[in-house]
Amino acid sequence: MSARGSIATAIDADQPRAALGAVAEYGITIQCHEGQVPPFAEAALLRLYGNLFSSLSHLRVYGRSSNISTYAVFDDGVLVTVWLFRREKNHVQVLNEGILLDDHEVSRFARHILATYPEVDVIAFHAVQAMVSRLPLPFERFNCLEDMVITLPSSTEDYLAGMGKATRSYIHRYLNKLKRDFPTFHFQVAEGRHIDPDHIRAIVQFNRSRMAGKGKVSINDDDATQRIIQLAMECGMVAVITIDGRVCAGTINYRAGENYFLEVLAHEPAYNDYRLGTLCCYLTACECIAKGGNEYHLLWGQDEYKARLRATQRNLDDLVLYRSRLHMFGHPDTLLRNALARGLRRARLWARRVRRSGNPGSRLAVALLRGVRSLLPVRS
């Protein structure tokens, strides 16, 4: 995967009135709801994008639902685009993440925003599939994350059959061993208000213990755990493996449209020899298939178990557009922040490769990387 950034400029981009004048499109109607989210938006976001990070549920739980405006596009009366955004002075930040963008849709949005808000000269997207190549504006695009995604087939039989012979053998061997050694083994799933919060706390505690064993601190502190519980009660699915009635492994997931998103996967270390974490994730994927899911997003990190379970990498980029080249270089703070983020991403990928190679200098590399990260401003 390449983490290279790019800065591109279209012809005549320094003359925004000519490049960004209103363009009539037959059958297209655009609505812009300033400072509000209309009632139709919540269901439309799930239908159009099926992404947790483009849902109002996620924004509400994580305290990002205030001061939001809505951009909506109708094609012959059919709602085809809903983007949420926040405007602060001369900057517009699109809140939808994980969505697929193309040249035409981004250009239409930019024309509308810059014509509507003359003071705005920066438009930013975070963690999107930016399939753009030529825009009527100067822009930066650089990789920021990867999302490991399992495309779910129509049946669990097809899912297992699509795996390599070694992986099929791996799953059968450890699952049979687990059932043989622990006759009380049980896999169970709960959704929404039927979820037991204690199951979530148990899974989070397994995660904390694992991180502590590596000398790290889990991001899932008490406050984060409470947010996880809140979001799970709204759109979650929690799967646990119990032995003798006690939770030994589990996954915390959310549903957005027809897609599922993994929040936490963890197991009790005493069951490492049974590959309990991988088995629990596999059984969860099978449950997503049984419920008619289209995709199971295992999110960030190129872990071995994700590839084993047929997850493929989907790159996510940051995309930043400027009203003109003049305005672009009038934002040195934004350019510097983007350059640092771009460099940090490259360094993280490099450190990951070094760590996997077993190089003795990997710990030093990771320590230096963490030092650099601490210098970057926190994204709001």
pLDDT in tens, 234-290: 999 999 999 999 999 999 999 999 999 999 999 999 999 999 999 999 999 999 999
Q: How far apart are CA 61 and CA 69, in angstroms?
A: 18
Q: Tell me which of 3.30.300.30, 1.20.120.420, 2.60.40.1080, 3.40.630.30 is the CATH number of domain 153-293.
A: 3.40.630.30
Q: How far apart are CA 291 and CA 238, in angstroms?
A: 13
Q: How far apart are CA 304 and CA 365, in angstroms?
A: 21
Mean pLDDT of the chain: 87
Least confident interval from 47-56, 122-131, 187-196, 217-226: 217-226
Say what the pLDDT of residue 86 is: 96
pTM exceeds cut of 0.95: no
CATH code, residues 6-144+316-370: 3.40.630
Task: Indicate the domain borders of the chain.
Answer: 6-144+316-370, 153-293
Look at strands 122-131 and 91-94 and give their pairing. Answer: parallel
Burial class (CB in 10 A: 0-12, 13-18, 19+), 121: buried
Are 352 and 300 a contacting pair, CB within 8 Å? Answer: no
Least confident interval from 26-30, 94-98, 102-106, 153-157: 26-30
Burial class (CB in 10 A: 0-12, 13-18, 19+), 272: exposed
Confidence of residue 362 (pLDDT cuts 50, 70, 90): low
Tokens 């210098």 sit at which residue?
375
16 or 130, greater pLDDT: 130
Least confident interval from 5-19, 74-88, 137-151, 288-302: 5-19
Q: Are 6-144+316-370 and 153-293 the same fold in CATH? A: yes
Residue 15 has pLDDT above 90, yes or no: no
234 or 358, greater pLDDT: 234
Closest CA to 297 of 54, 132, 83, 56: 54
Confidence of residue 13 (pLDDT cuts 50, 70, 90): very low
Confidence of residue 24 (pLDDT cuts 50, 70, 90): low
Least confident interval from 13-27, 59-73, 148-162, 195-209: 13-27
Indicate left, alpha or beta for 79 from its phi (over 0: left) and psi (-120 to 50: alpha). Answer: beta
Stretch 331-359: mean pLDDT? 78
